[in-house]
Structure 1
């Protein structure tokens, strides 16, 4: 398994955001064209309007899919940053942390997976409580210096509009149907 860097994840996130925004623009263009057809009727209007409605339906699906990819790639950048910074922390302070949690972690080697998982769960609860108490004191939270530029650039959360665009959930069968419709649309455009 190849390890992806935070920079590579950031590049993918930016590309997914650009693709989502491009698809949103194409959807808006198709919707505008449909409104224009309604306001300026001609003899081709029934066939053209039917085709435009199909295009809009497919474009909405494309926007939904692109928004999902963008949201997942945004989360991946954050996940990688957290994972890398925690790995750095453990390299520098892992022995101290293990010593603090020694009453839970001692003699885990050779224990069953159930006992190990229970000890890790309790240790995680202690860490959660300690972090919550530390935050209650009003500690200031900043991004790690190594990832500050990347995390600042992508923002704390994905764009709110992407979450709205990704609200509708499609079944695998629906995804297949829309993918087929997308493939067949250019060939069917009425003149």
Structure 2
């Protein structure tokens, strides 16, 4: 029994040791469903100076930037006009290097068949500052339009988004006056929620 408990504890220690490996947990690059745009999310506690580089498959630097951050950053990375292929995103802070490979394709998302439909939308005000969660229940591939109006019914946000399945987005509306109205529409449905 003692050896089983000891074995389980060793496995747990190993799992936690690998789970906090900074090379696996600090950098995430996401495709944003906007043609050619990826979202780079980097987390590093404390004040940091980060060298941000993107390399093509030949190893040439195609983008370089230097970012000062506090606890990391989130920024878009636009590949429009670039060749299709594999790219390496590299962030270097001090002597720590974090990398992630991504694949960019010039095939337009407009070529995808839009066969989906919005089933429902839900808006929740999150605790704290004026942050709202918009949840869209969608079936299939779809292109939706999200509009946000302020309390005076003036348009403050308007964006078309390509989605496949459900979507959840948090909007920070700190400077918004009055209760916001969220309008979501696709080719078949228009839904509106005021919070």
Q: TM-score scaled to structure 1, two decimals?
A: 0.22
Q: Which is helix-richer, 1 or 2?
A: 1
Instruction: Look at both structures and tell me which one has the larger radius of gyration over its CA atoms.
Output: 1
* Larger RCO, structure (CA 8 Å, separation 6 or more): 1
Q: Which is strand-richer, 1 or 2?
A: 2
Q: TM-score scaled to structure 2, two decimals?
A: 0.21
